[in-house]
Chain A
Amino acid sequence: MEEPKVKIGLEVHVQLTKLKTKLFCSCPSDYRGKPPNTYVCPVCLGLPGSLPKVNIKAIEYAIMVALALNCKINKRILFFRKHYFYPDMTKNFQITQYDRAGGAPIAINGYLKLNVDGKEKIIRIRRINIEEDPGKLVYPTGSIITSPYTLVDYNRAGIALLEIVTEPDIETPAEARLFLQKLRSILEHLGVCDCSLEGAVRTDANISIAGGGRVEIKNIGSVKDVEKALAYEVLRQKEAFLKGVSVRSETRHWDDVRKVTVPLRVKEEEQDYRYFPEADIPPIIITDDYIEKIAKCMPELPDERIKRFQREYGLPQYDASVLVSNKKLADFFEEAVKLYGGNPKKVANVIINDFLRWLYEKNMRISDVKTEPGDIAELLKLMDKGIISIKIAKEILPEMIVTGKKPKEIVREKGLLRISDEQVLKPIILRVFSKHKKAVHDALKDEKAINYLIGQVMKCTRGRADPVITRNIIVQLLEKIRKGENII
């Protein structure tokens, strides 16, 4: 039986975290961690008589995103009211965009190119809307089900959001992950959003299989969770399909603890949002000149940067893509290259093969890490000068990452300097010889067995012995033994 066709569409809500103020008022936008209801004003609190006024930079950022996603930008935009009652809504309507009564979202009909297993795949962007974030609900018992009342903090109310909606062109959970990674990289490179901030990027996913019911999974936080939720959902729907059971169109919620999607307990009624134009905000006219001005000043986008890394640093495409997938990582890399001054490929290798691996193992993100690009440069320089071996370098890297200490510090503290002094090495080698007589015997016949002896020396010296010098000394000593000379 043919694999049923999977159609996935994503609706991504992105906070324009780099704006200094909210979308419709001048409240500061850095509300995270602030005491509740201290970053509010009559406008975002929706006090009677208050009026919204649009942040000009929000329009600029929206246009930048639209250009980066190859969209058509609408020249005359209106805002609309979307009505629904909920305690996190200060006005019980959200000011957003719509396409009726002459309204139009800021951008439509764009696309994003993905590299899926070496092949190019295009994911179409249906539209981009500018809209405001609601406030935050806090459940005193920790659960929406058992809380006898709800606490509300409106610090987040009015923060500028872009809603980016794709066509259902995505076909696998892995593609969804790739899409989100690329989108995040683009947003970071544009400098409009710090995607690592909590709640800065939220995703709703729509998935249907073989023309069956469309399931919406709401409000998924991390990229990892999106992939997991979709994988679960694809499986669930495929099983139903194979059994001949039809899949219901419904809204589900990703339970991160049990790792399953569950139907929303609250009955999702046919929502009549009663959209109509926001009369308090006059139309915004966007001229071709204005768009061109913005286009000229656009920062380097990920695709361009990948090509430049290949050109300037001689990196293979794969390595360049890994580095650029996260702007902070790419910036880190370039800074390290500058400070190192040597072969950029070496820097790339350390970062991709070792640095990233340790970040993943210790479940840290690059923004959490105290290690600076200069530290990586220093590490490489120490290796180049022969002060430490590659083995030692790989050992101290995780400690650098966790403690933020400089490589020289760690080397000094742990006494990890490379031993290249023959006077120091010879007695150690002799001790090894006396402990491993059989190996010495083997090494006399078979050159390859020398490696075992070198290994033992490394073990004794905790990797500090200079391998080349060690090898030379061992070879010399073996020669002496062959000749029957005294080796002590």
Chain B
Amino acid sequence: MVTLFSKPAYMLKEEIISESVSIVDLVCKLYERIRKLDPIINAFITLRSEDEVIKEAERKEKEVKKGKAKGLLFGIPIAVKDNISTKGIRTTCGSKILENYVPPYDASVIKFLKDEGAIIIGKTNMDEFAMGSSTETSYFGPTRNPWDLERVPGGSSGGSAAALAAGLAPIALGSDTGGSVRCPAAFTATVGLKPTYGLVSRYGLIAYANSLEQIGPMARNVTDIALLLNVISRYDENDGTSIPGKRPDYVYSAINPYDFKEHLKVGIVSEMFSEGVSEDVKKSVLRVLDKVSGEGVEIDEISLPSLKYALPAYYIIAMSEASSNLARYDGVRYGFRANTDGDWNKVYMETRAEGFGLEVKRRIIMGTFALSAGYFDQYYLRALKVRTLILNDFRRAFKRFHILVSPTMPILPFRIGEKIKDPLAMYMCDIETVPANLAGIPAISIPAGFVNNLPVGLQLMSRPLSEDLLLKVSKMFEDKIGLKDLIAPL
């Protein structure tokens, strides 16, 4: 008997329309679980009032009864990462400086979700301004991994991933700048996709590194990812970097099997299986690759030498953009303002001193460094050139392969507090995920297995704008691996 809170969204969708599931029941069940478990897990920063959500659920149920229910996600509750603007609902980015900021507008993806009937239940915890890989830098405290409460759920979209793994929501939104959707997916045995840069509108996504980030769908299975992507991936004229054109039906692609007229060529990137990756993780991933190889699937190795520069290039670019994107927080138009006398320089310095956490300050300082006079050419400009090298390497790889695979994370989920004092050790966690952001290509993490009861994720990547193929292959792997719709035993 599948419990209500563990059902996948694509199933709930049908059952809501056929009235075998009541939206009100579903919502109540989730809120009951949230009340019981979230005080420990701390997945949510802001929860919409249960009364309000039940009223919305009731209204939607009436529509269903009248036969007027329209929308790809009608009645489906969704948890949204707290760096995505929601009109009238506090949006904090996990930071004190936006602790009481209430956006006067909805992000475009939120509009799309509402248009398709989804019910936003709350905003999830995250590393402050998305800067982190463990959801430990949040002003609102760390989120715990439902699979092991002493460990991190990954970051920066740790709240969304934990909500999924604890059965507090069927689908969620995260954002991915250097792995922030895929990392927590890997650490919580859920699925997270970073779309091609430009596929999903960033209008309303509170920026950290705007040339690298995308809003990404998160769920407990690949089909739900495809469903959510169908809704959020529309072209948006408000975003100058939004790619025009109609998107394919990603659900259709995912559930229709790969047409094996041509062998599926899967590439293993040697640089992504090197010494940085723990043996446990390597073994787990290679075992999976054994399972999927065989009829019609060719696995081979390829070297992308520029990837050894990916992590420093990523951090130079991300930190530089962060120093710029966070310059606006000065307490004049919104947000926290320090209670101090003085001229505007003094007030700005105190406001930002008190409002930002240490990791954010660290990245702003280093980003300012990389852009400053005398260092710009050597650091920022050089990083942009290395980015070109990485783009070229991936283009070369996709001439040979349909899909590239790697572990999502180089290590198993670590303990809370274990890496937070060593920033470079933390940055090393991103080694597998940042290349996809630098190249703008789509990348997904699906559960590969468990080691010592701790989740391990498999990452798949494909060429730009090929999410239909990526999801199709991911579904195929998911079927072969047999790990989906997993909820931690809490």
* Interface residues, chain A, with chain B CB atoms under 8 Å away: 42, 45-54, 81, 83, 85-87, 90-93, 100-101, 150, 152, 272, 274, 276, 279-282
Contact = CB atoms under 8 A, between A and B. Distances in A.
A135 B361 CA distance: 27
Contacts of A51: 202-203, 238-241
B237 interface: yes
B203 A85 contact: no
Given A87-B344, A90-B333, A279-B321, A48 B241 contact: no
A93 B327 contact: yes
A49 B241 contact: no
B91 to A, nearest CB: 8
Interface residues of B toward A: which range? 35 or more
Contacts of B105: 42, 47
B207 interface: yes
Contact of B85 (A49, A90, A150): A49
Contacts of B381: 100-101
B345 interface: yes
Interface in B323-358: 323-324, 327-328, 330, 332-334, 344-345, 348
A437 to B, nearest CB: 83
Contact of B241 (A86, A93, A152, A282): A282
B328 A48 contact: yes
Contacts of B380: 276
23 contacts: A42-B105, A46-B333, A47-B104, A48-B103, A48-B328, A49-B84, A49-B85, A49-B107, A49-B202, A49-B206, A51-B203, A53-B239, A83-B324, A83-B327, A85-B344, A86-B344, A93-B324, A274-B324, A274-B368, A274-B371, A274-B373, A276-B320, A276-B376
B211 interface: yes
Given A51-B203, A83-B324, 18 more contacts: A47-B334, A48-B101, A49-B84, A49-B205, A49-B207, A51-B239, A53-B238, A81-B324, A83-B327, A85-B344, A85-B348, A87-B330, A92-B330, A150-B344, A274-B372, A276-B380, A279-B321, A280-B239
Contacts of B103: 47-49
B98 interface: yes
A428 B107 CA distance: 87
B98 A48 contact: yes
B241 A279 contact: yes
Contact of B207 (A48, A87, A282): A48
B210 to A, nearest CB: 5
Nearest to B345: A85
Contacts of B91: 48
* Most interface-central of B101, B104, B238, B344 (chain A CB within 10 A): B238
B299 interface: no
Contacts of A87: 330, 332, 344
B292 interface: no
* Most interface-central of A42, A48, A49 (chain B CB within 10 A): A48
A45 B85 CA distance: 15
A430 B324 CA distance: 90
* Most interface-central of A42, A51, A100 (chain B CB within 10 A): A51
Interface of B: 84-85, 91, 93, 98, 101, 103-105, 107, 202-207, 210-211, 237-241, 320-321, 323-324, 327-328, 330, 332-334, 344-345, 348, 368, 371-373, 376, 380-381, 384
Contacts of A52: 240
Q: DSSP class of A's interface residues: helix, strand, loop or mixed?
A: loop
A198 B377 CA distance: 41
B464 to A, nearest CB: 15
Contacts of A54: 240
A81 B207 CA distance: 15
Contacts of A282: 240-241
A417 to B, nearest CB: 66
A47 to B, nearest CB: 7
* Most interface-central of A46, A93, A276 (chain B CB within 10 A): A276
Contacts of A150: 344
Nearest to A148: B341
Contact of B328 (A90, A274, A276): A90
Contact of A85 (B237, B240, B323, B327): B327
A90 B328 CA distance: 7
Contacts of B206: 48-49
B102 to A, nearest CB: 11
B88 to A, nearest CB: 14
Contacts of A279: 210-211, 241, 321
A92 B320 contact: no
Contacts of B333: 45-47, 90
A46 B93 CA distance: 16
A351 to B, nearest CB: 48
Contacts of B344: 85-87, 150
Q: 4 closest pairs, A vs B, by CB? A: A279-B211, A92-B327, A274-B371, A48-B206
A416 to B, nearest CB: 61
A150 to B, nearest CB: 7
B101 to A, nearest CB: 7
Contacts of B207: 48-49
Nearest to B209: A279
Contact of A50 (B84, B203, B321, B345): B203
Nearest to B206: A48
B335 to A, nearest CB: 9
Contacts of A53: 237-240
* Most interface-central of B84, B206, B324, B334 (chain A CB within 10 A): B324
A42 B376 CA distance: 30
Contacts of A276: 320, 324, 371, 376, 380
Contacts of B210: 279-280
B327 A281 contact: no
B446 to A, nearest CB: 29
Nearest to B85: A49
Contacts of B204: 49-50
A91 B239 CA distance: 17
Contacts of B238: 51, 53
A280 B327 contact: no
A91 B371 contact: no
Contacts of A48: 85, 91, 93, 98, 101, 103, 206-207, 328, 334
A133 to B, nearest CB: 17
Nearest to A24: B240
A272 B241 contact: no
Nearest to B242: A51
A91 B327 contact: yes
A85 B211 contact: no
Nearest to A273: B373
B350 to A, nearest CB: 13
A81 B321 CA distance: 10
Nearest to B384: A101
A27 to B, nearest CB: 14
Nearest to A149: B344
